[in-house]
Amino acid sequence: MAKDVILSGMQPTGKLHLGNLEGALKNWVSLQNDYQMYCCIVDWHSLTSDYAHTGDLKERIFEMAMDYLASGLNPEKCAIFVQSQIKEHAELHLLFSMLVPVPRLARVPSFKEKRKELGLDSYGFLGYPVLQAADILIYKAKYVPVGQDQLPHIELTREIARKFNSFYGDVFPEPEAKLTKFPVIPGIDGRKMSKSYNNDITIAESPEETTVKIMKMYTDPKKIYKGDPGHPEECPVYLLHQIYTLDYEKIYPVCHSGELGCVECKKILAKNLNKALELIRAKRKELEENPEIVKSALESGAKKAQKKAKETMKDVRKAIGLCGAS
Ligand code: TRP
């Protein structure tokens, strides 16, 4: 039986960090065995908010593709590709745009938030979730692994699929979000890890750089001197221990009693974290030295994506009754 299709997407932010690794990549790597996976690097989406800074776009895409492969995405199982190489996404976006009322888009939470925060008001930005619907539906995806914040976009995708099908006949499935539960990864300042906060630990950096960052990490502010009792449940260092230190339970009582100082505690974390990343980093080094491997993965991914996107667009043009639908 054919495997169910999963489509996932990420904006090309460049080098990926622990938050991306724990929140998305590891999950994708485990899904690729049971599903037909498409991993789309959504460069057009990044233009909706960052159209003025495209000088390093190609590099950001490449860095991300390296992290994908280093983390264990296998190009034989999973099509890794760049959105702008599959022009059919744009055609489907255009056709979908006819079906979506502008006030409906203006109510999408991410639009309302970012519009204020970043002062965005473009036609393209308003259409962001319509383009996302095209990304998903062009592969007739059944599941979309996303975080909570993306649920309104998946809901809109389902509405578009329903509306299309009701006008033109059954072409699209109604995809479902596959919510991934994962711990929020704290950055070195204690806030959520994010490239834009400049508090991230990347896959690509060296173990030495990681150690320096960990040693600078924000800790429980009530523990000032070694000997002061700590509050591990409020400490981002302890949160990372829970992921990267096998016997992290042993840290809790000695931090709590004051026996373990923050410096020592961070040294243990840095060692364990670097150990956990060792294989991924080694693979990444290998890819940096052999960029042709990455290029060919992106080419084969684009080929697979292209084939499926072409098939769907044939169905779509035929269903609507457009010319060129043979
Ligand atoms: N909006 C998604 C995000 O910000 C990125 C994205 C674009 C996406 N197209 C997609 C995610 C398709 C899943 C499926 O994370």
Minimum-distance ligand 1 atom for the alpha carbon of 135? 12
Distance 10 CA to ligand 1 centre (A): 6
**The pLDDT value given to residue 142:** 97
* pLDDT at residue 280 greater than cutoff 90: yes
Tell me phi and psi for residue 323, to 5 degrees. -65, 160
Q: What confidence tier does 291 reach under pLDDT thresholds 50, 70, 90?
A: very high
Taking residues 282-299, what's their average pLDDT? 98
In DSSP notation, 2-17 reads PPPEEEEEE---SS-B
E strands within 29-188?
Answer: 36-41, 78-82, 143-146, 176-179
* pLDDT at residue 205 greater than cutoff 80: yes
pLDDT above 70: percentage of residues in the chain: 99
Q: What confidence tier does 326 reach under pLDDT thresholds 50, 70, 90?
A: low
* pLDDT at residue 183 greater than cutoff 80: no
* pLDDT at residue 148 greater than cutoff 70: yes
Taking residues 183-199, what's their average pLDDT? 91
Contact 238, 253 (CB under 8 A): no
Taking residues 223-252, what's their average pLDDT? 91
| Domains delineated in the chain | 5-185+291-320 (3.40.50.620), 204-276 (1.10.240.10)
Taking residues 208-221, what's their average pLDDT? 93
Question: Helix 151-168 vs helix 128-137: angle between axes, to the nearest 10 degrees?
Answer: 70
The amino acid present at 38, given as its one-letter code, is: Y
* pLDDT at residue 66 greater than cutoff 80: yes
pTM across the whole model? 0.94
pLDDT in tens, 130-145: 999 999 999 999 999 9
Contact 122, 48 (CB under 8 A): yes
pLDDT in tens, 35-63: 999 999 999 999 999 898 899 999 999 99
State the CB neighbour count (10 A cutoff) for residue 237: 24
**The pLDDT value given to residue 91:** 98
Mutate-to-test residue for ligand 1 from 28, 37, 135, 142, highest number of ligand atoms within 8 A of CB: 135
In SS3 terms, 238-298 reads as HHHHHHHCCCHHHHHHHHHHCCCCHHHHHHHHHHHHHHHHHHHHHHHHHHHHCHHHHHHHH
The amino acid present at 149, given as its one-letter code, is: D
Indicate whether residue 8 lines ligand 1 (CB < 6 A): yes
* pLDDT at residue 224 greater than cutoff 80: yes
**The pLDDT value given to residue 116:** 87
pLDDT in tens, 79-128: 999 999 999 999 999 999 999 999 999 999 999 998 888 888 899 999 99
Show which residues are catalytic.
Answer: 114, 192, 195
Distance 266 CA to ligand 1 centre (A): 34
Distance (Å, whole) CA 278 – CA 66: 15
- Taking the chain, what is the end-to-end CA distance rounded to the nearest angstrom? 28
pLDDT above 90: percentage of residues in the chain: 85
Residue nearest to atom 8 of ligand 1 (CA): 9
What is the pLDDT of the chain when averaged over all its residues? 94
Q: What confidence tier does 325 reach under pLDDT thresholds 50, 70, 90?
A: low
Mutate-to-test residue for ligand 1 from 6, 7, 8, 10, highest number of ligand atoms within 8 A of CB: 10
Taking residues 242-253, what's their average pLDDT? 94
